[in-house]
Each structure stands twice: as structure tokens, then as C-alpha cells.
Structure 1
């Protein structure tokens, strides 16, 4: 009887820890939940496959400005994806190395999979 109770208790604790961990990730680290911001500029890759739109996000009086970069797929019907989140930045410099590699404010990203998020130090 005690073994069954112990197994169930461990299982319930495991589920609660997993849900709490996901909740923290969702609330504080999920890039799809970033604020929209005010449009600054955009830049398109040489082959026209990608357009990066950049927005300035103002967190109010208690936080600094941040830059959010959004990758748009021009030749595929995919929804835009947040690829850049830089804190304490209010301007942006975008350089295309080639059709799939971009440097945003000194951070090189291999598109479409890599991202930069200052919260993770990536």
C-alpha cells in the first residue's frame, strides 16, 4: 500500500514540476510572446526568400528599449518568426553575409533556424 502511494506521489510531483517549468518558460522566455513594438526598418535577402522586419519595443519607465527582429518568409506560406531580441538597444544594423546568413547588431544568425535572445546569452 505504501509503495503505491509513494509511486503516485512521485508521479504527481513530477507532473507539477514539469508544468511549473513550462509555465516559467512560457511566461519569461518564449519568443513568440514578445511585444510588437514600433516599426523601424526592414531588409530583404539577396534572393528575396527572407525579409527581416525590425521593431523598437519600449517597456516603459522601468525598462530600457529593446529591438525585436522578425523573419518573414516571402516565398513560403509560413507565419513570421521572432529571431532577434536585443535589450538596451535602440538602433539596428543589418548586414546580409549571404542569402541565408545575416548579422544583426553584431550577432550572426544562420536562417531560418538560429535566433538571438539576450535573456539566454545566445
Structure 2
């Protein structure tokens, strides 16, 4: 009876490592799917459309139109530029089936792009998530 109990105790660390590896694998696969399909930093650059600067001059939003080729429609990408700091520009707007962009600053930290209001720099609009 003691031999059977020892063997069971010895298998517990193996089970733990197998479960840990499975969880790690699932996390890596999940991040890979996010990176390939939803990471806004991987969007196509597109062709320049227009830009508007906030009243205090702290931010500029530049918009670009991107063609997905023969099988998809146009999309508009909006990029936030930090004028008074060395921060990297960041994509804050991505909407499918648009070819033009209307940018309006409602105050120093709120921009409206094609009817979507964003509180910069924290908000983003991505049609794939709405």
C-alpha cells in the first residue's frame, strides 16, 4: 500500500508542470491572435487625408485612408501626435468603409472623428471591437 501512495505523490509535480505549460501555451496563443488581428500598431499606414491640432497645441490628430485591396473597402486611420513631448505617435481611430475624415476638437482633450468622440490620449475607437 505504501508503494502506491509514493508513486501518486511523485506524479503530482509532473501534473503541475503539464498544467502550467498548457496555461502558458494558451496565453501565448491568445496573445498571438490579439497581435495578428487586433493590435492597432500593426495597421496599414495609408495615404494622408487631413489633420487638426488642439486649441492648446498639445495634440495633433492626423488621418489617413487605407485601401485593403480588391477584396475589402477603404478604412480611415487616425493617429495622435504628441506635440510637446517625445512620446511616440499612437493610432486612436480605425474605422472600416470610410474614405474621408472630419476632425473637430470640442476641447483641449476631446476630439471628434467622423462622429466618434474620443478623450485623448486614453480613448481609442476600433470598429473591430464595437
Normalising by structure 1, what TM-score? 0.97
- Larger Cα-atom Rg: 2
User: For residues 2 and 104 of structure 1, what CA distance do their matches in structure 2 show?
Assistant: 58
Q: For structure 2, list consecutive stretches of 5 or more residues without a partner in the other structure.
A: 1-9
Match of 1:106 among 96, 110, 115: 115
Paired positions, count: 121
User: For residues 10 and 46 of structure 1, what CA distance do their matches in structure 2 show?
Assistant: 54
Q: Does 1:63 align with 2:53?
A: no
Residues 49-98 of structure 1 show CA distances to partners (whole Å, capped at 9, x for unaligned) of: 11111000000001110000000011111111000000111111111110
Moved over 6 A (4+): none
Pairing of 1:2-81 with structure 2 (within 5 A): 2-81=11-90
SS in 2 for 1:2: helix
Q: Which has the higher helix share?
A: 2
SS in 2 for 1:41: strand
Q: Does 1:119 align with 2:109?
A: no
Q: For structure 1, list consecutive stretches of 5 or more residues without a partner in the other structure.
A: none
SS in 2 for 1:119: helix
